[in-house]
Structure 1
């Protein structure tokens, strides 16, 4: 057992552990351009931060009137994203330090992400985070993606942890809502500064309004210790 009792920590991946959103954006931009939708912008992409790839391409199909099926779009975007992710994905330094600190304390950890299992595996392996984060759950493996709690509840089940003992780290409003729905506490590190006032973040146990620029491994760990006590 860890030195902070029965606490288990569940990490979102994209935008929380790693800065993968630029790769998701570029994959989406390229695929849409190939399907006759030029000019897909970063602001267009921001609407989908925290939303699964499957849900994203379903919206694309409806909004842009794409002829390709949702399955075809999903597979194409995943392939393109994996190419980009394997070439370069950066782990946030303080998040890496936090993972290493928790691992040293014996804290059970998992990743719960809207990304595909292949994408999760590629990113964790490419960044070396898989050395400590060996358990991962994809939204593809559960009935509903975030903001439903399914992926977090499945991660807790695989960890053998009570949801009430789990702390989620999230960067997006749908993920914070999913953590709340799962009955878990949340450390919120908004990827988009404009989302810091989103109602989904209001219930976070610890809200770092400045996002990754404000997050430190030591402060997050001390918060865990205080709240465990």
Structure 2
């Protein structure tokens, strides 16, 4: 019998349940490489952590002198990120165990994230956490 009656848990996604930052970096690196910027490093990427993709690609246009539009870069980076989110997002092992423990105790859980509903769904499906986290707020 559970001692957790009356408890509900809401998780943040990126950086809490999963390590999504490598996917954001790789999506950006690939997108920039397609436009001739081949030296985009993790250090370069770190200046964009926590900033929206639209703001990021707008800065890229100015910083790297790209001729693509914000919409074109946004679409390309987002497409790459979604592919990576489905295939290579890593759930933090301790958080996976915690979610599974709570699920075994029938504790209601949800995810609240600034990510898009599509990105959240891709990450949860790719990590298998969607089996336990069905309520999502974006």
TM-score range (shorter-chain normalised) is 0.7 to 0.9
**2-structure distance, mates of 1:9, 1:85:** 23
Give the 5 Å matches for 1:68-83: 68-83=68-83
- C-alpha deviations, 1:143-199, integer Å up to 9, x for none? xxxxxxxxxxxxxxxxxxxxxxxxxxxxxxxxxxxxxxxxxxxxxxxxxxxxxxxxx
Please say if 1:87 is aligned against 2:91: no
Partner of residue 109, structure 2:
109
Gap regions ≥5 residues in structure 2: none
**2-structure distance, mates of 1:112, 1:51:** 17
Please say if 1:20 is aligned against 2:4: no
| Closer, same or farther: CA 34–130 of 1 in aligned 2, 3 Å | same
Give the 5 Å matches for 1:166-177: none
**1-structure distance, mates of 2:88, 2:125:** 12
**1-structure distance, mates of 2:127, 2:35:** 32
Residue 132 of structure 1 and its aligned partner are, at CA, apart by 1.1
Higher relative contact order (CA 8 A, sep 6+): 2
**1-structure distance, mates of 2:26, 2:66:** 18
- C-alpha deviations, 1:78-101, integer Å up to 9, x for none? 111122232322211110111122
Residue 25 of structure 1 and its aligned partner are, at CA, apart by 0.7
Partner of residue 130, structure 2:
130
Partner of residue 185, structure 1:
none
Give the 5 Å matches for 1:199-210: none
TM-score (norm 2): 0.82
Partner of residue 39, structure 2:
39
| Closer, same or farther: CA 106–78 of 1 in aligned 2, 3 Å | same
Partner of residue 30, structure 2:
30
Please say if 1:10 is aligned against 2:10: yes
TM-score (norm 1): 0.53
- C-alpha deviations, 1:99-150, integer Å up to 9, x for none? 1222334433222233332222111111110011112233xxxxxxxxxxxx
Residue 12 of structure 1 and its aligned partner are, at CA, apart by 2.2
Partner of residue 96, structure 1:
96
- Alpha carbons 1:12, 1:111 under 8 Å: kept: yes
Residue 15 of structure 1 and its aligned partner are, at CA, apart by 2.4
For the residue of structure 2 that corresponds to 1:136, the secondary structure is strand
**2-structure distance, mates of 1:58, 1:11:** 30
What is the total number of aligned residue pairs between the two structures? 136
